[in-house]
Structure 1
């Protein structure tokens, strides 16, 4: 190597007597390298000018965690927004920030999520994931946690699974809040109210349903609750469910979308000229903002995606037994940010 040639990773590998893959792991601050080897690679990188003394000292500090976020794939606008925010967070990461990756897993597919947990645990020190309540997922989570990978569920959890913390809302309280709003805002003291969800396999959705039903029975027994429809966070399915609900219950006075893709519901209400039906959903995204402004939606429950991401990273970096629930934000047409 001449003075005019910029040092390469292969030069470090040759001097240190290690593989190019090992040097790559050290320079990219990934796990899987013994501390003695890492120190030798950094020393040679400094000696040949690949790293400055200052950079080598920073690299010599404790390695940042490798983190993965696993999110459901699909057309849910809030989850797409969450993925975009994770990518933006990756783009502005500094050298001492966690090394973060994000992958989308087929929605509602417990087997795919369990496989993704096991696969990513080989690289990741910590994984945040949108949980599906299913035996395969619970078993994979227990196995991965026992192997030393930190786990945190986001938005929807796995219940009281040991060593797996949760970052998200108090979903039962969220459901009760939705029931309270519909009971207070409905244009009639009697009539039917309906729920639409992504899937009961998401504990968040089943807990919101339970909270909603409890307050309806407690405070609004005169309102008739129609059994929950599963729309799989798909706008088309939600649209068809809403048309069927309107046909089934001409006295429908309220709809609570427990999951996402509310645009299908607001579309059906507009087409049937039933925007007097009180409609509450989740996730402040362009479609729900538009529905609030045009009057086909009354309220949107939101959890700021950036705050959710930072809370997940914090919970993975500094584990605590039970992180506090995140703050629920409620938007109406009059207080849109």
Structure 2
């Protein structure tokens, strides 16, 4: 609507309804922070003065869709980039009564930055889905917001037992055991070393996968020696340097499990050193891991479908599921790539 064309403006609606321009803006844009009685009053006046048609007024009068924010770690992790793209695709094709979605990438592995982002986005959001860092600052922020009525769901990596916070993701201990089983079976050696590369133990998902991996090696493959965990912060360059160091320092290396993301750095090091025979299992079906499977540098990729993850997170925040069960793990080899 343009001023001077004879049609009522937001300011006219605010004056007639006896509320502030900010309140009218919240009602028309279906944002939180307006009492239901005030919202309906503004919509009635909007129809009376011709700001909204009867049809539009009816649509706006329906229950306000939830405002949902998705917080993801920034960095070079290709899977998280794909996840962000899928959220933005949903935003682009959303209709009036779909949840309002926003997606932000924040400083990876920075607990203070995540706690700040949670508090700042709670001013707009009814619900927040976030990739959790297990840290007291994050737990405190989550408990505070949950007590204040903001719905929270961790995705991929959990926060532990914080009241009111649901989790959407895999059974990560079982995932780690599956990785250990594959490497133990594929290595086919009477002795040797295997290594783990993680984003960070501050991600509960990564520490649980590590625990599962170690438990099955101790149980079924005691002949394989586990060398110390390397933390690559889901950064391709760091993972590349860690892998080169492993190849130099551990001559009997027979397997690598990348507990986190950015497997491209590891495959690059294996190719450069001609060590494609090292059994390599990682996470996230992305263009780089697909290529590595086809080339034979990777043996298996664990994947959590991004669309299913987003759907489950929204359903959880919308109250459509009472409690989220662990999601299905997809395991891809060269021969069953979709």
TM-score range, shorter chain: over 0.9
What is the Cα deviation at residue 96 of structure 1?
1.0
Partner in structure 1 of residue 277 of structure 2: 276
Q: Distance in 1 between matches of 2:263 and 2:128?
A: 29
* In 2, Cα distance between equivalents of 1:92 and 1:189: 55
1:334 positional shift: 1.0
Residue 27 of structure 1 pairs with residue 28 of structure 2? yes
Deviation at 1:62, TM superposition (A): 1.4
SS in 2 for 1:227: coil
Is 1:159 the counterpart of 2:160? The answer is: yes
Secondary structure of the residue aligned to 2:176 is helix
Q: Distance in 2 between matches of 1:320 and 1:304?
A: 19
Q: How does 1:171-182 map to 2 (within 5 A)?
A: 171-182=172-183
Summarize deviations over 1:115-149 as a string: whole Å, max 9, x none: 11111111111111100000010011101101111
Q: Where do 5+ consecutive residues of structure 2 fail to align?
A: none
Q: In structure 1, how many angstroms separate the alpha carbons of the residues matched to 2:125 and 2:264?
A: 36
RMSD: 1.5
Counterpart of 1:11 in structure 2 is 12
Which SS does the other structure have where 1:124 is aligned? coil
Residues 1:97 and 2:114 are matched in the alignment: no
SS in 2 for 1:148: coil
Q: Distance in 1 between matches of 2:137 and 2:252?
A: 42
Q: Normalising by structure 1, what TM-score?
A: 0.97
Equivalent position of 1:224 in the other structure: 225
Residues 283 and 301 in structure 1, CA contact (< 8 A), matched pair in contact too: yes
* Residues 248, 7 of structure 1: alpha-carbon distance in 2 compared, 3 angstrom cutoff: same
Match of 2:192 in 1: 191
1:1-337 aligned within 5 A: 5-318=6-319, 322-337=323-338
Contact 1:69–1:127 (Cα < 8 Å) also in 2? yes
Question: Is the contact made by 1:131 and 1:202 (CA closer than 8 Å) also made in structure 2?
Answer: yes
> Which range is displaced more, 18-27 or 297-306?
18-27
Structure 1 residue 57 displacement after superposition: 1.1
Displacement of 1:270: 0.3
Checking the alignment, whether the CA contact within 8 Å between 1:302 and 1:330 is kept in structure 2 is yes
Q: 1:224 to 1:259 in 2, by over 3 A?
A: same
Q: Deviation of residue 44 (structure 1)?
A: 2.0
Whether contact under 8 Å (1:165, 1:321) holds in the other structure is no
Helix, strand or coil for the counterpart of 1:40?
Answer: helix
Query: Residues 41-63 of structure 1: CA distance to partner in whole angstroms, max 9, x if unpaired?
Result: 11122223332212211211211
Q: How far 1:4 sits from its partner (Å)?
A: 5.1
Task: Provide structure 1 residue ranges, at least 5 long, that are not aligned to the other structure.
Answer: none
Give 1:335 deviation, angstroms. Answer: 1.0
Task: Give the number of aligned pairs.
Answer: 337
Q: Distance in 1 between matches of 2:5 and 2:231?
A: 65
